[in-house]
Amino acid sequence: MKSIIEKYGHKRVVIVKGGITRHRSIFNGLKVFVENEFSNHLLQKPEVVIIHDAVRPFVEEDILSKVVMAAKEHGAAGAIRPLVSTVIASAADGCLDHSLERARYRASEMPQAFLFDIIYEAYQQCTDYDLDYGTECLHLALKYCKTNAKLVEGTADLWKVTYKRDLYAAESIIKDNLSQQVCVITDVKEAVAQIGFLLHETLKSQQIEAVSISLSKSDSHLQNIFSGQCYNFVCINDKKYAIQEAQQLVDMLEKSNLPLLYPVVLILMHLDISENISFSIGIEELTRIKKFAGEMKKKNILVYGLLIQYKDHLVLQKIVNSAAALIMALIKDRNPELIGQLLVA
């Protein structure tokens, strides 16, 4: 935990040692505000506390502010969701006793928010049995403080990462979110700019937010793109080894701290319009991209090569479509094993 906080530079976080059950951990967290009231300005007793599960990483700001507002008014509030399955009670013999009418019940999810004094009071009053076997904070507030929590409809994002399949789902959701925006970087030469324009339009027609900049006046534009959280860059160049140009972008990426949280995808797209009919890719070129990609990997930047070769303007759109499909496949997969490969559109 400490290394995570250091790595991402969180300044307003205090770690509290957990207990052997969920409720004991939460109680430990609450106690710190009372016991350390005068020693640390971060630990001044708050009016409202939010309790959340780390296994619900996709929580949105909107639901946080909703439960906080409701807690101010009602003393307690929690997110709820419709039940996915019918809930049943079993008898001692392992047979059905009764089933609950699904429409009348809800699943209690997180986040929950409380007036500090109410939830702290509830934890002080509750029994060891509650602390060892209970799981529901709203229940404690009701039982010990007579506080009927306000229930706030949450979105499907609040789901709990519980099983292996949930890790798969979480990974896909993150990759999906990172793939919505692509920045296309070109230099001013005509052929390069033309391909850049076509690629931009093709990506846009696929509901991808495409941003184009030319390398010559990139600085302030790029800063805007970095702060817009764009995690995907395509550099189009007609030089065979455009690694120097890429290095310039990499330096700026590093300064921006963008690759700290998620891997950035950088596709080096080489435009070959030579008349040479017996075109071939030399081992030196392959080795060079691989070596560069290996170094960039350490900076959490995933580099892939993409070659476009055409002599005939009539097939240009077809080749750009093929390039766009490869670009989107690379961006969506973010596969670290494929870095340094040179794909051909």
Give the integer Cα–Cα distance in Å for 47 and 64.
15
CB 153, CB 70: distance < 8 Å: no
Q: Is residue 39 involved in binding its own copies (CB under 8 A)?
A: no
Q: Is residue 334 involved in binding its own copies (CB under 8 A)?
A: no
Q: In the set 252, 281, 316, 319, which binds its own copies (CB under 8 A)?
A: 281
What is the closest distance, in whole angstroms, from the C-beta atom of residue 47 to Mg ion in the complex?
Answer: 21
Q: Is residue 196 involved in binding its own copies (CB under 8 A)?
A: no
Phi, psi torsion values for 309, nearest 5 degrees: -130, 125
Q: Is residue 341 involved in binding its own copies (CB under 8 A)?
A: yes
Q: Within 131-150, which residues bind its own copies (CB under 8 A)?
A: 133, 135-136, 138-139, 142, 148-150
Q: Which residue has its beta carbon closest to Mg ion?
A: 136
Q: In the set 5, 24, 36, 136, which binds Mg ion (CB under 5 A)?
A: 136
Long-range contact set of residues 156-160: C-beta below 8 Å, sequence gap at least 24: 156/81, 157/58, 157/59, 157/60, 158/56, 158/58, 158/59, 158/63, 158/79, 158/81, 158/109, 158/110, 158/111, 159/56, 159/58, 159/109, 160/53, 160/55, 160/56, 160/109
Q: Within 108-127, which residues bind its own copies (CB under 8 A)?
A: 108-109
Q: In the set 32, 43, 68, 107, which binds its own copies (CB under 8 A)?
A: 107
Q: Within 299-328, which residues bind its own copies (CB under 8 A)?
A: 309, 325-326, 328
Q: Within 222-261, which residues bind its own copies (CB under 8 A)?
A: none
Q: Is residue 343 involved in binding its own copies (CB under 8 A)?
A: yes
What is the closest distance, in whole angstroms, from the C-beta atom of residue 185 to its own copies in the complex?
Answer: 22
Give the integer Cα–Cα distance in Å for 249 and 141.
53
HSE (CB half, 13 Å, CA atoms) of 123? 20
CB 310, CB 276: distance < 8 Å: no
- Considering beta carbons, is residue 23 or 334 the nearer one to Mg ion? 23
What residue ranges bind Mg ion (CB under 5 A)? 136
